[in-house]
Amino acid sequence: MTKIQLFNTLGREKQEFKPIKKGQVNLYSCGPTVYWYAHIGNFRSYLFADVLKRVLQYNGLKVKHVMNITDVGHLTSDGDEGEDKMIKALRREGKELTVEGVKQISKIYESAFLVDMKLLNILKPDKLPHASDYVKEMVESVKKIEKNGLAYKTKVGVVFDTGKFPNYSELGKLNLKQQKEGASGKKDSERKNASDFALWITNQPKHIMMWDSPWGRGFPGWHLECSVLSNKFLKGIDIHTGGVDHITVHHSNEIAQNWGATGKKCVNYWMHNDFLLQDKGKMAKSGGSILTIQALIDKGYNPLVYRYFSLSAHYRSQQNFSWDNLDGAKNAYERLKNLVLGLKSRKDSKGDTEEFKKRFLQKINDDLNMPEALAVMWDVLRSTDLGSKQKLSLVLQFDKVFGLGLKDLKKEKVPKEILELVKQREQAREKKDFKTSDKIRDELNKKGWTIHDSKDGAKVQKK
């Protein structure tokens, strides 16, 4: 069996994956802060984690997956400054600044997130704990860190002393010697090191969601929740995933907190996906203009087209989004669906599938090389040595990793009304009456159908 090789950010190299417990993988992923809609750049992270989980399962491993829902403590700056993003959402939407208002906002955007997950065929995590439900456990964790001599108090609250954690710079390859006081952008002159970060934040009377603690009424630092929730629900964390923007701050702080509370390493493999770029810049909510899954749907794209688009680039490389690139993915996905539907209607059988299975496994186990795994699938479909039965069997097997919903594909039954419009359009085109032809195309589009002209004639498809 081909061994699984994964790129571990902690060592900056591919390493053979060996789970803590044979046959079982504990996977933790940083989840959404539910103060706004997740955009397609955010979903690159969740698709990456989903593909990772599917690859592990394809190799016969059982995966327990936990993803947090951040509904408190994530300030507008990852460096412990600004207001809570949940409060920012209340202000943006003109709602009352109350605990109930925060709960309403978080419920709205969490529901939207889960709907988008389903549309993208992302497997739902086994646990989706809310940060606000586990503040008691976070307080206990801070107590342990303080007892172990790794925390001190300032006017901001309780701060982690990174100077006492010798491996703080390891994950992010940070050069702490070059950092000067205040280099982190924090307005806290009491901090001993520029990299020190808040564990528990106090002295913010205008903050809405607060709890009592030994250090005063306040709320947890954003980094704390992932340390606490991952260790609460997973007894030994094999893999922790997130975006590359989490490496130098959020995940470096998680490692410090884990060590501060337990005295040991809690995560064996750290894996990070790179950015989705738009107009050569990172797609981010702070820019004010985001593309959501619903926005793609409104433009006539099946969400699984975006999933196919994501699979076409390696998770560790930056991927550039453009409508032309998405159209390319749409054409490939539609062609794939049509080929699979064709295979389902034929019964011819010939050829050996083992070599294709072996190649596919090698690609997915080589640090989730999805572009090359897709290439193997297309080689299967082009093969003259395989019958339809063998091709369909392989493609459906491979789709357990790709997650493109090919097993459930059914041929669309086109209503008579639509077929009649297509016929009228063909007649208009034969007469070179392109004005009428375009008018009928628009009418079909309004009725929810798209029409594609090819050398074999016009083909109509449900949007």
How far, in whole angstroms, is CA 144 from its chain's centroid? 32
Do 266 and 171 meet the contact criterion of CB atoms below 8 Å apart? no
C-alpha angle 179/180/181, rounded to 5°? 130
Please tell me which residue, 107 or 445, carries the higher pLDDT value. 107
pLDDT tens column, 265-308: 999 999 999 999 987 566 655 555 689 999 999 999 999 999 99
Q: Return the percentage of the chain with pLDDT > 90, whole number.
A: 70
- Helix, strand, coil fractions of the chain, as percent rounded to 5: 45, 20, 35
Average pLDDT over residues 9-37: 96
Do 353 and 393 meet the contact criterion of CB atoms below 8 Å apart? yes
Q: How far is it, in rounded angstroms, from Cα 276 to Cα 53?
A: 21
- Structure-token pair, residue 376: 């193997």
- Model confidence at 2, pLDDT cuts 50, 70, 90, reads confident
Q: Is 2 exposed, middle or buried (0-12, 13-18, 19+ CB in 10 A)?
A: middle
List of residues 6+ apart from 70 with CB closer than 8 A? 31, 32, 33, 34, 131, 222, 225
Q: How far is it, in rounded angstroms, from Cα 346 to Cα 365?
A: 32
Do 44 and 120 meet the contact criterion of CB atoms below 8 Å apart? no
Q: How far is it, in rounded angstroms, from Cα 254 to Cα 256?
A: 5
Residue 118 has pLDDT above 70, yes or no: yes
Q: How far is it, in rounded angstroms, from Cα 80 to Cα 195?
A: 11
Q: How far is it, in rounded angstroms, from Cα 294 to Cα 397?
A: 29
Q: How far is it, in rounded angstroms, from Cα 404 to Cα 402?
A: 6
Q: How far is it, in rounded angstroms, from Cα 334 to Cα 461?
A: 10
pLDDT of residue 183: 38
- Model confidence at 182, pLDDT cuts 50, 70, 90, reads very low
List of residues 6+ apart from 359 with CB closer than 8 A? 376, 379
Average pLDDT over residues 7-20: 97
Residue 145's nearest CA partner among 137, 191, 219 is: 137
